[in-house]
Amino acid sequence: MTRSAVRRSGWLLLLALCAAPPLLAHDLWIEPTSFSPRPGQVVGVQLRVGMNLAGDPVPRVPALVNQFVAARASERKPVLGREGGDPAGFLRVAMPGLQIVGYYSNPSRIELPAEKFNAYLKEEGLDSVLALRVLRNETAAGARELYSRCAKSLLLSGSASEAEGDRPLGFPLELVAERNPYALRAGEDLPVRLTYQNRPLEGALVVAINSMDPAERLSARSDRDGRVNFRLRPGGMWLVKAVHMVPAPAGSDADWASFWASLTFRIER
């Protein structure tokens, strides 16, 4: 086998691993090497995929990267990295403050049998899709799906300020913390807003999981403004996540398109 063929086979394997079916590897999240870097420190931006915050590394596969960015105030720059590398990217924290890191993937395709697809819809709270499949008499049919990842993470260098906060990065499905989670006081709620195509998404299931006890979950349906409120205990990394599914675009050779949003941060007090 030629060197180019070996390289090509390796990339096909990486693509297969990174595009694991949603039912087998539900969530993709960003887990930086430090949530509280010092100014000037280089942070590894690790991508993880798995369930209940038990995740496998996702290497950097250029064919899957639509956007991989870091934002602070009005500044926005690409997160660079090496092909096949884990961490998937690196960023240097130039100055104190809140840093937003985002990863938006190109769609991957999967086909699931009816039983697995229906179970996955139920688990992710996609009741409207289940209802539509019943209406169309499709509950016994398998489904072809395109799915994209929309992951974000909040890092804090230095002291927390209420004046600094999360902001939209323009991903199709996006979770935005409406207060700086690092500036919350004990007993205060964190309002999180879910948007689809830059508009509030109502009725979506939003779940918050803590790395100290992943089995203990908080969940709520987004209101008409796309908002949920969570009272998060200190300690450990928090993953807030949501999934939205719509009919696939015409000509895409798929039945459904799904978007998987995640937001991570770490609260130590």
Give domain limits for the chain.
3-12+21-266
Q: What is the mean pLDDT of the chain?
A: 91
**Confidence class for position 268, pLDDT limits 50, 70, 90:** confident
Check whether the bond before 87 is cis (ω within 30° of 0). yes
Q: How far is CA 86 from the centre of its chain?
A: 17
141-181 pLDDT, tens per residue?
A: 999 999 999 999 999 999 999 989 999 999 999 999 999 99
What is the C-alpha separation between 101 and 132, in angstroms, rounded? 35
Closest to 216 in 3D by CA, of 228, 229, 233? 233
Closest to 162 in 3D by CA, of 134, 184, 140? 184
- Kindly give the residue spans of alpha helices, DSSP state H, lying in the chain: 3-18, 114-123, 127-135
What 3-state class would DSSP assign to 182? helix
What's the pTM?
0.91
DSSP state of 222: -
Closest to 180 in 3D by CA, of 225, 222, 232? 232
3-state secondary structure 234-265: CCCEEEEEEEEEEECCCCCCCCEEEEEEEEEE
Average pLDDT score over residue span 12-27:
51
**R_g of the chain, CA atoms, integer Å:** 19
Cβ pair 263, 177 in contact under 8 A: yes
User: What's the pLDDT score for residue 11?
Assistant: 45
230-261 pLDDT, tens per residue?
A: 999 889 999 999 999 999 999 999 999 999 99
